[in-house]
Each structure stands twice: as structure tokens, then as C-alpha cells.
Structure 1
Amino acid sequence: MLSRRLALAVATGAVAALALGTAAQAAPARHGGHGATLRTLAERPDLLIGTAVDASALAADAPYRAGVSSEFSSVTAENAMKWEVVEPARGSYDWSQADRLVEFAHRHHQEVRGHTLVWHNQLPAWLTSGVADGSIDAAGLRAVLRKHITDEVRHFKGEIYQWDVVNEVFDEDGTYRDSLWLRELGPSYISDAFRWAHEADPKAKLFLNDYNVEGVNAKSTAYYELAKKLRAQGVPVQGLGIQGHLDIQYGFPGDVGDNLARFDALGMQTAFTEIDVRMTLPADEAKLARQAQDYRRLLDACVAVRGCTSFTVWGFSDKYSWVPDTFSGQGAANITDENFVRKPAYTALADGLRAAARRAGRH
């Protein structure tokens, strides 16, 4: 469901379109496409086109800021809503980066995805050290987790359309990941997290989220079985977030459409939440063409399924990509290059959105 502010933006389309056109002209990424941007090409009120946002780049880089505002109808905080950022000292909150992103989204008629409430990474040092030295026991940890989820979701109540509540809980073989949460609390922490998040903001859609779950495999099937079980118990699990971190040296994931369809049949939403497609450097024409094909195949799978409600790239410019620092010798994973020039992957997404609009009879 769209928020009231996005509904207002749709209702005042002429003004919004003028504002977007002005912002877009400032961005070097604009060339070709007859002035269209991804958010204007999507045209579906039930499909948001998003990007993860680097808080520092948003503050300091004008072309980056213009690209975020003109191209996307949804934004996700890349790091600004993670636990180590919002509560660096126990009981001491710092919402400043996240609040600035939400305010930016307000000004540009964008929705906000919340990422992420429970994860095994990027936890504050006071929490991990407290568990390690025994000063935070299992009961204390459960209380800490409940307070964190409640405080963060309430802080952003009414501002977040989808929350990644629990992130990356399974290994590749479909068994539970050996995390601090599993060791100390057992798998019940998952259902607890969803219930607490729902209590804090009943209108936000609540998602599981993971990588390597694009197609039908042991890991995505584990999520399917977990979601089916929890929903039967009345736990408010409403969506599956499919990250979409791909690498062109591997084959494209099989059965993506079938995977989305089975969650659709459960009455759940799906979303592609963190898409990038990396390659071994240097990039060349063939690699960029394969990258574009992979982006397009994910988009086509999303638009073909009623329940796929958002499609988010994990950053849109290679200038700020996480990939080179994480995967040695790899990069060029995003839809524009370091100078915000559109790559074939951008064109593939734009063409896919145009094709979807034609099939729906909107053009």
C-alpha cells in the first residue's frame, strides 16, 4: 500500500514530473531515453523502483544526489539504519543519518525500505562483547533485542513501507545459520522479531531477506517452509526479500519465476532488495552485455508476478559500490559507471519497464 505522501505525489503528477525533470537534468547519468527515468518508466503504483543510498555520498556528491532523486521511487539506507549505527552505545541512539534520508525521501516523493532490524553482522560492540563476557545472558539478550526492534520501528513508524526484519538466517543447505541469535535464543527469535516489529508499526510490511534465494534451491525452500509455518501460526511474515547479488561468472539462477510464484501463492509479497551484478575486471562489451541480461531477467521475473512490489538496486553507481572492497579483482556491478554514465544494464531495465507498460496497455 502506498503512503499518503506518495499518493499525493501521484495525484499531483504534473508538478512532480516537472520537479523530477529539473533534478534529472543536473545528473550526468542522463543521456538518451528521451528524458525518461526509471521511476517515470515504471508507472505502476504497486511497483517501486529503488536504490540503496550511501549517506555520506548523499550529503557530499551533487550528481549522486540528483541521480537518487530523479531515478528512483524508493530508497533504502545502505548502512544508516543498522544497529551499530543507530545505537553505538547502549541506550544512546543516533538517528541522524537515517532521519536525513527519510527527510530526503519526503522532499522527493519517495518511499523508504527499512534495512535491517536483526542480522548477525554490524552489531554494536557493546552487544557482542556483553554476550561474550556473560554480562548479557539469554534473557537479557532477548530483552535487548525486543527493545531495539521496538525503538527503531517506532522511531520510523509511518515512514517505512517494508522492513527487512530478519536478515540472512539460513546457510546454503537450508539449515539455520550459526549466529549469535540462534546460539543464545534458538530459532524462536525469528517469530519474536516479527511480532515485536508488527506491534511497533502494524502498517509496515515485514520481510525475511537473504542472498542466493533468487531461484528454487535448498535455501529458498527453507524460507518457503519457514514462512508457511510462521504464517500458519499467525506470525506477521508478509514478504520475502531476494537480494540479487549476482556474478556473471556463474549461471543465472534457475526457476526465478517459479520461486516468486510459490511465495505469491502463499499470499506473500516478494521484493528484489539488493541487486547488483559483478564481474571480473576489467569490464568489456561482452561482460556488460551479460550483466545487462541478468538485470533484465530479474526485472522481467518481478513484473510478471503480482506480489513483487519493489525492485531495488544496491547502489546505482560504481563510484560507491561495495563490491571491489569485498571481492578482490571484481567490480563494475552497478547500472551506471563511476561518472554516472548509464551502462547497458540501465538501458536493459528501462527497456524492460517500457515493455511491461506496453503489455499492460499503458503505452
Structure 2
Amino acid sequence: MCAVVLTVTGVLVAVLPEPEQEGHLLPGLARARGIDLGVAVAVDPLAHDRRYRGIVEDHYTSVTAENTMKWEHVQPERGEFDWSGPDAVVDFAAENGLNVRGHTMLWHNQQPDWLAGGDWDAESLSAVVHEHVTTVMERYRGRVSAWDVINEPLEDGGPDMRRNLWYEVLGPDYIAQTLYSAHAADPDAELYINEFGIETAGPKADALYALVSDLVERGVPLHGIGFQSHFVHGNVSEDLADQMRRYTDLGLEVAVTELDVRIPEPVTDEDLREQRGEYRDVLAACLEVEGCVNVTVWGVTDAHSWIPEWFPGTDAALPFDTAYRPKPALSGMVDALSRRGGRRPAPAGDPGRRTRPAR
């Protein structure tokens, strides 16, 4: 949908669409700026809720499986894979011309009981990890463009490595081992480490940078860093672009992989107006950094958001409300992609999807 142009006393004036309409501009604007604009989707509403599905089709260029590709869902019993959920997401994306980000291979949460409670030694666990990664990635080879292979490898507050199952049994080099397995399964997929709390300078951000620098120096097949970016209203990072550049300077790409901005209740109209600027600024930060390839919103509407359950007393974190109505945050994303009111300039360059930086 295009803006209407009128002639008033010989001057051309662009009449911008209403907020409900301008959201439909997002896919074209994102592609013209050379990035994907993504959203995390859940299988059940994607299959049964026409309004939910319509929001995804009309406003985004890529999808991430919110839960269904996690280990407890895709391999609930050892050696028994359930492809129904992942297939539904990947097939939906193919039918609608959307890219797919895979999420996630190794994470300390949402593990099946047989894995979390197993009596593993290094040899047996290494074999299970290799089998899982290879089986999943080979199935979707050529259909999933990027994978969060390693999710949240650092302790919540940083800077130490998380003492998860993989670390305790395989040691710190489990990250490199898994990346090698992933690369062998799909050499064309972009392989990511995905982490939260790295959007602002500090011990955790420095620890991840040191870890990643070592992997790059060793030639491990790592291609990108995911900034989860689960923000609280009023505390959105102002140096996100600077933190991203640390990794693009290493020859990696970066992405905002799980964006939401939760608001402490009661949520006011003023909060929502300010949230518009916060969404705008996050996208503007990505556009400022050559090598930022994707911004993904973590959920389609507030009706299907993880926020109220995990962060009681906060809500309204997404660009669509519980009634599926667009919020000012949606216009904030349009602002950034169309260079309206953003605090950061957009990079020069040709439109279209960026390719993997040379290393």
C-alpha cells in the first residue's frame, strides 16, 4: 500500500497511511533496506487462527519457531523425532515466501527428561548431540537459512560460562564441537550463538566477545551473534549498535533475535507512545550496522506473549495487542525503516539480503 500524494498550491505533499495501514509497508521496507524483519510463531495459532496467521503474512519477511524446534518437542524420546511442529512452520514459510531462522539446538532449558536426567559420559553425550544436530539440520537443509546453534552459553549475570549439561560433561569446547557438527550437516546455513544481556557494555558482553574472538581465531564455523534484546520499557540499550560492531569487526553478522519491550503495569497510553520510539531505535541500531541482517520480534501479539507468565506485573511487550490491534510500536518500526524520526542514520549500500561477511 503506497502513500497518497496530493498537490497543494503547487507543492507535493505525501499523506501517510493510518497506523493500521502502514504496517503493511513493513515487508517491502525491510527488503529495500537489506534486512529481514522476523517474528517468532507458535504452531497452534499459526494453524488455527486466521488473524494470527494474517499478521505474520502481512507484516514480516521471516519466521522463527518459538518453541517447536527445541529439543523437548522435536526429540521427546531418544531416537524418536516429532516433525509435525517444525514442518508446519517451515511449510508455512515456504508457502508465503518467508525466510526461516531455526531455534534452537543446545539450550539448558526445555530438554526432554531422557536427556536432562541421563547418565552421560563425554563420548555418549557427544554422540547424542551430533546425532540430534545432524538429523534436524539435514532435514531442513536449504530451507532454514540460519540456526541458533548455541543458546545462552553464559550465566545469566555473566561473565562465567553456564554450568549446563554440555559444559559439565563435554567441557567448554562443546560450543566448537557443536558448531562443527552443524556446519557439516548444512554448510550453507548461518550458524549463531544467541545470548541475552549483551546489548550494553559490561562483564557479560565482554565475556561473550572473548569467547567469540577465540572461536573466530581458531576458524570454528561461526557466522553470527544473536542479540536477544528482551528489554524493559525505559531501559532499552543506547549502545546496541556499538556492541554489534564488535562482532561485525570480526567478520561476523549480527541479528536482533528475540525483541520485545515489556512495560510495568498499569500500562498507559504514554507508555505505548514511548514504546514506539524504543522499537524504532532498536531497528535503527540494526540499520546503522553493516552486517546486521535481521530483527525478529518475539511473538505475534500480546495475546500469545510469554511475558506475563515469566515477568509478572509486566505486559504489552509486542507490536499488536491482545485484540490483535496494531500498537504505536508497529509505526515505530515503519519510522525506522523509512528513516522517519529515527535517531540513527541508515547505512549506504544496495538493497537486498546481505551475504555472509568474508572472514
Which residue of 224, 240, 247 maps to 2:225?
A: 240
Q: Does 1:321 align with 2:309?
A: no
Residue 43 of structure 2 is matched in structure 1 by 55
Give 1:21-170 correspondences, 5 Å limit: 31-33=20-22, 36-44=24-32, 46-130=34-118, 134=119, 136-170=120-154
Q: Cα 1:266–1:83, aligned 2, differ >3 Å: closer, same or farther? A: same
Distance 1:362 1:168, change over 3 A: closer
Q: 1:229 to 1:361 in 2, by over 3 A?
A: closer
Query: Counterpart of 2:296 in structure 1: which amino acid?
Result: T
* Equivalent residue letter for 1:325: E
Which of 220, 243, 248 is residue 259 of structure 1 equivalent to? 243
Partners of 1:216 and 1:254 within 8 A in 2: no
Letter in 1 for 2:192: F
Q: Deviation digits for residues 9-30 of structure 1, max 9, x if unmatched?
A: xxxxxxxx9xxxxxxxxxxx97
Q: Indicate if the aligned counterparts of 1:215 and 1:257 stay in contact, CA closer than 8 A.
A: no
How far 1:178 moved relative to its partner?
1.6
Aligned with 1:37: secondary structure? helix
- Selected match of 2:181 from 196, 199, 218: 196
Encode CA deviations 1:297-337: one digit per residue, 9 max, x unaligned. Answer: 11111001111000100013101000011111111100110
- Per mean C-alpha deviation after superposition, the further-off stretch among 213-222 and 341-350 is 213-222
Aligned position for 1:208: 193
Asked whether the equivalents of residues 19 and 330 of structure 2 are also in contact (C-alpha less than 8 Å), the reply is: no
Is 2:160 the partner of 1:175? yes
Preserved CA contact (<8 Å) 2:225 2:252: yes
Instruction: Answer whether contact 2:253 2:292 (CA < 8 A) is retained.
Output: yes
CA-based RMSD of the aligned residues comes to 2.1
8 Å CA contact retained: 1:30, 1:341: no
Q: Show the counterpart of 1:13.
A: none
Q: What percent identity do the matched residue pairs reach?
A: 40
Q: Secondary structure at the match of 1:160?
A: coil
Aligned 8 A contact 2:19 2:328 in 1: no
1:319 maps to a residue whose letter is A
Which has the higher mean CA deviation after the structures are superposed, 278-287 or 107-116?
278-287
**Counterpart residue identity of residue 163, structure 2:** D
Helix, strand or coil for the counterpart of 2:335?
helix
Question: What is the distance in 1 between the residues matched to 2:176 and 2:74?
Answer: 23
Tell me the secondary structure at the aligned position of residue 142 of structure 1: helix
Which stretch of the first structure deviates more once superposed, 272-281 or 220-229? 220-229
Amino acid in structure 2 at the alignment position of 1:353? L
What is the aligned partner in structure 2 of residue 310 from structure 1? 294
SS in 2 for 1:328: coil
What residue in structure 1 maps to residue 256 of structure 2? 272
Correspondent of 1:291 among 262, 272, 275: 275
Could you say if the C-alpha distance between residues 45 and 197 of structure 1 is closer, same or farther in structure 2, counting changes exceeding 3 Å?
farther
**SS of alignment partner, residue 50 of structure 1:** strand
Deviation at 1:264, TM superposition (A): 1.1
For 2:290 and 2:123, locate their aligned partners in 1 and report how far apart those are by CA, in whole Å: 41
Give CA-to-partner distance per residue, 1:268-297, whole Å, 9 cap, x none. 000000000001122102211232222111
User: Match for 2:310: what amino acid?
Assistant: T
Work out whether residues 105 and 111 of structure 1, in 8 Å CA contact, stay in contact via their aligned partners in 2. yes
Give the 3 Å change call, closer, same or farther, for CA 361–177 of structure 1 in structure 2: closer
1:300 lines up with 2:284 in the alignment: yes
CA–CA distance in structure 1, aligned partners of residues 85 and 92 of structure 2: 11
CA contact (8 A) 2:66 2:103 kept: yes
- Partners of 1:289 and 1:177 in 2: CA distance: 37
d(CA) in 2 for partners of 1:32, 1:362: 27
- 1:226 paired with 2:214, answer no
TM-score by length of 2: 0.88
- C-alpha spacing 1:45/1:98, structure 2 compared with 1 (3 Å): farther
* Structure 2 spans left out of the alignment, 5+ residues: 2-17, 352-359
Q: Does 1:331 align with 2:320?
A: no
